[in-house]
């Protein structure tokens, strides 16, 4: 069993839909990262959470420390949101990676 | 502009020919790391460095070496590359005073 698990692995949705990607972890972490990887390969850090909720534009990330669960939400999804979204737990400056969720938003 | 740079971006080489992938950051970050990304396996950490002259093995260190002589640079060395090291490599950095991980653009390596 992976220490950081994401679901779903793949998600295809229509433009405008509300998107939720889930991340559960079984190890002790000090924070959880959400990252975005575009088809070109580059990785961008979206959020780092240690508690509660953060919002940036149409992206919202939440974390429940007691349940060891985090979610990434995208409101009013757009084709340019198509990417792989990865969650990673931060443990002593090392990242424990989820496998990623491949999101495709169709126009 | 805050950034992590990697060179080369693409490299095709042959088995056994030593190579170095450079990584440099301009944010005075203490912590740097190398990852490889393979289909179906996600990102796996190769080596990391907590500061100058401090390096340690990650999850998949075999076949790789690193050095951290200066704070800004963290090169990845493949002394004798093999085809199973064909992968996409990322360098990343973060600092004790920041929450964000910064990633380089990636180096796509093919070993024939």
Residue scoring higher pLDDT (A31 or A61)? A61
CA distance A41 to A8: 20
Contact B11, B59 (CB under 8 A): no
Q: Is the pLDDT of residue B69 over 70?
A: yes
Residue scoring higher pLDDT (B42 or A8)? A8
Question: What mean pLDDT comes out for the span B18-46?
Answer: 93
- Amino acid B89: pLDDT: 97
CB atoms near residue B50 (< 10 Å): 17
CA distances from A12 to A28, A83, A99, A107 (A): 31, 11, 17, 11
Question: What mean pLDDT comes out for the span A57-73?
Answer: 96
**Model confidence over A14-46: pLDDT tens digits?**
999 999 999 999 988 888 999 999 887 789 989
Q: Is the pLDDT of residue B5 over 90?
A: yes
pLDDT more than 90, % of chain A? 72
Q: Is the pLDDT of residue A94 over 90?
A: no
Q: Is the pLDDT of residue A10 over 70?
A: yes
What are the residues whose beta carbons fall under 8 Å from the beta carbon of B84, sequence distance 6 or more?
B111
Q: Does B10 touch chain A (CB under 8 A)?
A: no
- Amino acid A1: pLDDT: 59
Question: What mean pLDDT comes out for the span B91-103?
Answer: 84
Contact A45 B31 (CB under 8 A): no
CA distance A49 to A54: 7
Name the residue among A103, A8, A18 with its Cα closest to residue A59. Answer: A18
Q: Where are the beta strands (DSSP E) in chain A?
A: 4-7, 10-14, 19-25, 31-37, 43-49, 52-56, 59-64, 69-74, 83-91, 94-97, 101-106
Q: Is the pLDDT of residue B99 over 70?
A: no
Q: Does A83 touch chain B (CB under 8 A)?
A: no
Q: Is the pLDDT of residue B28 over 90?
A: yes
Interface of A with B in 31-50 (CB under 8 A): 31, 33, 35, 41-45, 48
Interface of B with A in 90-109 (CB under 8 A): 90, 92, 94, 99-103, 105-106, 108
Average pLDDT, chain B: 94
CA distance A58 to A36: 14
Contact A86 B44 (CB under 8 A): no
Contact A43 B45 (CB under 8 A): no
Peptide bond just before B112 cis, omega within 30 deg: no
- Amino acid B75: pLDDT: 98
């Amino acid at each position: 069993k992976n220490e950081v698990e994401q679901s779903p692995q793949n998600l295809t949705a229509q433009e405008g839909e509300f998107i939720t990607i889930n991340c559960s972890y079984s190890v002790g972490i000090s924070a959880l990262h959400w990252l975005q990887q575009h088809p070109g390969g580059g990785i961008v850090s979206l959020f780092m959470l240690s508690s509660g909720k953060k919002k940036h534009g149409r992206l919202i990330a939440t974390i429940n420390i007691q349940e060891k669960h985090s979610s990434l939400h995208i409101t009013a999804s757009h084709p340019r949101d198509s990417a792989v979204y990865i969650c990673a737990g931060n443990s002593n400056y090392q990242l424990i990676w989820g496998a990623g969720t491949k999101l495709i938003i169709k126009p | 502009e805050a950034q992590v740079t990697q060179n080369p971006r693409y490299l095709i080489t042959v088995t056994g020919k030593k190579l170095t992938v450079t990584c440099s950051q301009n944010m005075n970050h203490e912590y740097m790391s190398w990852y490889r990304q393979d289909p179906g396996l996600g990102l796996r950490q190769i080596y990391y460095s907590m500061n100058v002259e401090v390096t340690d093995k990650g999850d998949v260190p075999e076949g790789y070496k690193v050095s951290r002589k200066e704070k800004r640079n963290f090169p990845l060395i493949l002394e004798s590359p093999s085809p199973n090291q064909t992968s996409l490599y990322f360098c990343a950095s973060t600092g004790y005073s920041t929450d964000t991980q910064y990633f380089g653009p990636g180096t796509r390596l093919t070993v024939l």
